[in-house]
Amino acid sequence: MNTRASRRDSIRNAWKTTGDSGIPIHPTRASVQAMQNLGCDMTAAQTLLAEAEALYRANRTDDLLVMMSKINALIADRLAEVRRDEPTSWQEYQKKLPTGFGLPPLRLPIAQRTYDDRILGSWLGKCAGTALGGPVEGWSRDQILREHTRIRTYVGTPQLVNDDTAYAPLILHVLDQYGPTWTSQDLALEWLAHLPFAYTAEQSALDNIAAGVMPPESRWFRNPCGAWVGAQMRGEIHGLIAPASPRVAAELAFRDACVSHYREGVDGEVYVAAATSLTVAGVPVEDALVASLEHVPETSRIVETVHSTLDFCRRSEDESAVAEWIEQSFGGFHWIHAVPSLACAIAGLLLGKGDFERSLLATVHLGFDTDCTAGLVGALLGASLGASSLPREWIEPLGEVLPTYVIGFDEIPFHELVRRTAMWGCRIAPAACSSAPA
């Protein structure tokens, strides 16, 4: 292929491409929507988007590149507004947290066999959810029902290699290298060494880190997607290694999130980490969802989302009604945004009433970012039920090894993940752990 043709194809792909699940992806449009979801006025950008689409259709790629540059300049200007008053340290973040909640009742210490079983359940549940949701990622509920009528099991052979499960092994690696006091910059450099690629906000952060732009600045430069779901999907591991210690899990998640995310992106990961910390310690999932709000700023849209979703799902057990409400409430968000993803996960958990299969299927049929939403549901229910109580038909197809695209961690046996997770959990939260028999 000659250089001119290669350039033309590259520009066209930057404007429009196709995701792994077959959905069309428009990166520049998505970036503008991301800014709108952050509350920015993007009227001028909308006009330029229409002009850019016309250039794309006319195959005027050189002019299209110029137009995308103009749109990106508008996004960069608005990002300067978004970052005002955003906490840059855990100390600053803590000042925004509510007080007076207190921990729910805990039965400590956790017997080691129980802790191991719950850790394995969370790892397997996460993998089951992401494998189930992956083939329909980004699809609407209507498209899922139209194409599959009703999904009842994995669509094809479960695929475990994905970004949802790629980051947690790196947290264990960072702990081995730096201990529990690792910094966001430590983690960022390990990303650079071990991640051959990433998506959306994480890829922007990777590019920034490679150019020497370190956290927390790495989450801002050329990154309109910092409130999307990428950090939220990384949260469970921090709860698993800080059992019964949600504030510790929240701090670890904050350090992680600040590499690539801001606003709801950070709040979502902090919330998920705290919820996992409580769930793996035996707190019922719904109670953990409420108690974890103590670790998120009261003004966050994550808090509003949790309250409104719990309230609606407690009043309606009809999946179609819940799906319609979610679409009406969150349809204006990009499907990769943290807010609709969390709403779908919470709705799936309440619709499923603690049943693993029912919860996963209900979550996937709500649409949006289905591998992330079902992955979170599977991780929390797995941590609650334990691997020994998960349905064999969902777990056996996953095998005994987690494959990843992470450099140096191509295949990791699940039993090794459990051992390392439990080892760090007992070091980070020793009061929660015990070698006593179950």
One domain, residues 98 and 48: no
Q: What percent of the chain has pLDDT over 90?
A: 95
One domain, residues 78 and 98: no
One domain, residues 267 and 329: yes
Q: If residue 299 lies in a helix (H) or strand (E), which one and from where to where?
A: none
> Which range of residues forms the domain containing residue 58?
3-82
How many CB atoms sit inside 10 A of residue 161's CB?
Answer: 16
One domain, residues 77 and 115: no
One domain, residues 56 and 120: no
Nearest to 346, CA basis, from 375, 372, 314, 377: 377
Of 10-19, 93-102, 226-235, 345-354, minimum mean pLDDT range: 93-102
Final residue in a domain of this structure, among 42, 62, 82:
82
One domain, residues 181 and 38: no
415-438 pLDDT, tens digit each: 999 999 999 999 999 999 976 444
Final residue in a domain of this structure, among 39, 57, 82:
82
One domain, residues 282 and 240: yes
One domain, residues 128 and 56: no
pLDDT over 50 at 347, yes or no: yes
Half-sphere exposure of 226 (CA within 13 A, CB side): 30
Residue 1: per-residue pLDDT = 54
69-100 pLDDT, tens digit each: 999 999 999 999 899 889 999 999 999 999 87
Average pLDDT over residues 249-262: 98
Listed in sequence order, the residues at least 6 apart from 265 whose beta carbon sits closer than 8 Å to its beta carbon are 201, 226, 227, 228, 229, 230, 231, 232, 257, 338
One domain, residues 68 and 183: no
381-423 pLDDT, tens digit each: 999 999 999 999 999 999 999 999 999 999 999 999 999 999 9
Q: 284 pLDDT band (50/70/90 cuts)?
A: very high
135-173 pLDDT, tens digit each: 999 999 999 999 999 999 999 999 999 999 999 999 999
One domain, residues 54 and 107: no
Helix axes 338-352, 319-330, angle to 10 degrees: 170
User: What global pTM score does this model have?
Assistant: 0.97
One domain, residues 33 and 120: no
* CATH, residue 358: 1.10.4080.10
Average pLDDT over residues 190-209: 98
Question: What Rg do the C-alpha atoms of the chain give, in angstroms?
Answer: 21
Residue 102: per-residue pLDDT = 78
Final residue in a domain of this structure, among 35, 60, 82:
82
Instruction: Answer for the pair 345, 310: CB distance below 8 angstroms, yes or no.
Output: no
94-130 pLDDT, tens digit each: 999 998 777 888 989 999 999 999 999 999 999 999 9
Residue 438: per-residue pLDDT = 43
Task: Tell the burial category of 300 from Cβ atoms under 10 Å away from its Cβ (0-12, 13-18, 19+).
Answer: buried
Q: Domain tally for the chain?
A: 2
One domain, residues 185 and 283: yes
Residue 103: per-residue pLDDT = 83
289-320 pLDDT, tens digit each: 999 999 999 999 999 999 999 999 999 999 99
- For the chain, count helices (H), then strands (E): 21, 6
pLDDT over 70 at 245, yes or no: yes
Residue 435: per-residue pLDDT = 60
